[in-house]
Chain A
């Protein structure tokens, strides 16, 4: 029981990290970014190719991975998001789903659909927390999540962040006072891709990773975390991520292990998502913004 709680908490940190990127894009562009997970996929596979494939030092892999993620983000912004700016949000969503599937297909074509093991950032055995073995990598992930959520919350208090919010509220009026919508769009997608890249780089070494590992299993819980947090709240994304992780693992513990319900983790996430949307659609920390 305690072990499931701890595992859930640290699993939830990854959801939180993805949710921070999702919230950033939603706050700035009112778009559900279904490609957020694949920024992490690109970063993880690039870093793997650099570190394991060519034997370069770890920091080179991290830099290369993050650069690849940001480049992907900027390409998506230029090629997909900006031309579709005026179309409906549903079409934009379909296009972003397309981007995610496209990226996975490219990774499979280039890298073959085989499982890989990424060396962790810090070697060493697990730490025992409530009876669960938690890897140092997961502790780092949790710390990074806390720092990034706080940093993003602070970002929206700075002039630059306020400019992004202004552009989101009224693009034309923001343009009049000198805020370029194109610059804002580039900034937001670049930052989102960077956040996604960090999530992918930190999560890949936790287990075995395959093409699409960030989208196929992580994206729906991450969205549930963002919705639970209120979709526009960065502390909400942090808390939501951890909560989803815990609910998922409690689901595995109570439903999966004791009642033998298949797919208990997904069922738990779905039930929580429905509860939030039906009872408190504005989420835990969502305000009028």
Chain B
């Protein structure tokens, strides 16, 4: 009896110790991530904002492609519409920032819902084509509609005085990212998440199980558009000016690849990959020009193709070697942090996307 109690106590103590260790590890990692924000000055505050905005975009694509299994090659359109809506409410109507962000989210959700209505009729590859064509049309028609976007000159999106400093704005972006993460987590661990899993794995079987496939598909599109619009609103105020050329349709392709590299349905993987691709265009040229020796074919003119080039190389490696992306590589670590055991239990909810 006494031995049994002792063993149990030891197990309990070990568990407590393990939990404390894991909590410490999480806090240490978060602190490490916050270090550039505290010590890096305005430059790093701006970069962190951009990384957070990209992470929100990645999570938006993850909602649609990862959870619902629908592809969108025109996501830059939703983000762009959100950005222009925010700029419009801020500069033309003079509305406060919160209102602008709400308008951005609503605009993104509405546009995505309209595209979602089409998505109910076409599937798979055709949907990719429709969204790609929509992204192209948005780039050339909607974003060049002078009354709404200010044409080539762009639309101004000034920040309110409270958020004028880059640090305050970075905190806002991180706050929105946390909110979207919470949304994603609630989405997955509720009835909706299970319905979306069924939908993703096999639409016909899901329908026979009583899942309202039409409704959930439309909901996934709207939610994804809402998050994308929100990211667009943040982007508008981050850059303080929105131009059509920020939302060329190739951007959407890079975003989709970025999300796949991060790992569909892996929050941490998507965030890491998104942050990486947010920072690459800002840091890579400086890094390359500081190198003592430079390859002859690299110069200012070609820097802008390097991030897509790198994402594609990573994509091809990911698809060949570890289809789960960064998320798959990080799985042992994340599993230890969340459950205390690094082993891989049952192979999860399965199903390819």
Is A105's CB within 8 Å of the partner chain B?
A: yes
Is A119's CB within 8 Å of the partner chain B?
A: no
- B130 partner, pick from A80, A84, A263, A273, beta carbons under 8 A: A273
- A98 partner, pick from B125, B137, B141, B312, beta carbons under 8 A: B312
Min CB distance, B138 to chain A, in Å? 9
Given the interface contacts A87-B352, A109-B297, does A267 sit within 8 Å of B141 by beta carbon?
yes
Which residues of chain A come closer than 8 Å to B71, judged between CB atoms? 90, 93-94
CB pair B319–A281 under 8 Å, yes or no, is: no
- B309 partner, pick from A32, A93, A99, A102, beta carbons under 8 A: A102
Q: How far is the CA of A98 from the CA of B133 in the complex (A)?
A: 17
CB pair B353–A105 under 8 Å, yes or no, is: no
CB pair A93–B133 under 8 Å, yes or no, is: no
- B124 partner, pick from A83, A89, A274, beta carbons under 8 A: A89
- B128 partner, pick from A93, A263, A269, beta carbons under 8 A: A93
CB pair A227–B129 under 8 Å, yes or no, is: yes
Chain B, Cβ-Cβ closest to A103: B312
CB pair B305–A112 under 8 Å, yes or no, is: no
CB pair B302–A112 under 8 Å, yes or no, is: yes
Chain A, Cβ-Cβ closest to B122: A277
Which secondary structure characterizes the binding site on chain B?
helix
Is B257's CB within 8 Å of the partner chain A?
A: yes
Min CB distance, A64 to chain B, in Å? 21
Given the interface contacts A220-B133, A273-B130, does A109 sit within 8 Å of B305 by beta carbon?
yes
Instruction: Point out which of A98, A263, A278 has the most chain B C-beta atoms below 10 A from its C-beta.
Output: A98
Min CB distance, A160 to chain B, in Å? 26
Q: How far is the CA of A97 from the CA of B257 in the complex (A)?
A: 9
CB pair A270–B309 under 8 Å, yes or no, is: no
- A277 partner, pick from B65, B126, B311, beta carbons under 8 A: B126
Which residues of chain B come closer than 8 Å to A223, judged between CB atoms? 129, 132-133
Residues of A253-276 contacting chain B, CB below 8 A: 261-267, 269-270, 273-274
Is B32's CB within 8 Å of the partner chain A?
A: no
Given the interface contacts A83-B320, A90-B71, does A101 sit within 8 Å of B254 by beta carbon?
yes
CB pair A80–B316 under 8 Å, yes or no, is: yes
Q: How far is the CA of A213 from the CA of B144 in the complex (A)?
A: 21
Min CB distance, B299 to chain A, in Å? 8
CB pair A93–B125 under 8 Å, yes or no, is: yes
Is B145's CB within 8 Å of the partner chain A?
A: yes
Q: How large is the interface on A (under 10, 10 to 19, 20 to 34, 35 or more residues)?
A: 35 or more
- A97 partner, pick from B253, B309, B320, B323, beta carbons under 8 A: B253
Is B121's CB within 8 Å of the partner chain A?
A: yes
Min CB distance, A256 to chain B, in Å? 10
Q: How far is the CA of A220 from the CA of B128 in the complex (A)?
A: 11
CB pair B121–A277 under 8 Å, yes or no, is: yes
CB pair A84–B126 under 8 Å, yes or no, is: no
CB pair A274–B319 under 8 Å, yes or no, is: no
CB pair A108–B305 under 8 Å, yes or no, is: yes
Q: How far is the CA of A278 from the CA of B132 in the complex (A)?
A: 16
CB pair A91–B319 under 8 Å, yes or no, is: yes
CB pair B353–A216 under 8 Å, yes or no, is: no
Which residues of chain B come closer than 8 Å to A106, judged between CB atoms? 309
Chain A, Cβ-Cβ closest to B252: A97
Chain A, Cβ-Cβ closest to B71: A90
Residues of B319-353 contacting chain A, CB below 8 A: 319-320, 323, 352-353
- A262 partner, pick from B133, B134, B145, B253, beta carbons under 8 A: B145
- B129 partner, pick from A32, A95, A99, A216, beta carbons under 8 A: A32
Given the interface contacts A109-B305, A277-B126, does A94 sit within 8 Å of B260 by beta carbon?
yes
Is B136's CB within 8 Å of the partner chain A?
A: yes
CB pair A89–B125 under 8 Å, yes or no, is: yes
Q: How far is the CA of A267 from the CA of B124 in the complex (A)?
A: 22
- A274 partner, pick from B130, B254, B305, beta carbons under 8 A: B130
Instruction: Point out which of A97, A216, A281 has the most chain B C-beta atoms below 10 A from its C-beta.
Output: A97
Is B214's CB within 8 Å of the partner chain A?
A: no
Is A44's CB within 8 Å of the partner chain B?
A: no
Is B156's CB within 8 Å of the partner chain A?
A: no
Given the interface contacts A88-B353, A97-B256, does A108 sit within 8 Å of B302 by beta carbon?
yes
List 28 A-B residue pairs with CB atoms under 8 Å apart, sorted by A's residue number.
Answer: A87-B352, A89-B124, A90-B69, A90-B124, A95-B315, A97-B73, A99-B312, A101-B250, A101-B253, A101-B309, A101-B311, A101-B312, A102-B316, A105-B306, A105-B308, A106-B309, A109-B298, A109-B305, A113-B301, A216-B250, A223-B133, A227-B129, A262-B140, A266-B133, A267-B140, A269-B133, A277-B130, A278-B118
Question: B-contacting residues of A (Cβ < 8 Å)?
Answer: 32, 79-80, 83-84, 87-91, 93-95, 97-99, 101-102, 104-106, 108-110, 112-113, 216, 220, 223-224, 227, 261-267, 269-270, 273-274, 277-278, 281
Q: Please list the 10 inter-chain residue pairs (A to B) with the smallest Cβ-Cβ separation, ordered nearest first.
A: A263-B140, A262-B144, A105-B309, A263-B141, A102-B312, A270-B137, A105-B305, A98-B312, A88-B352, A108-B305
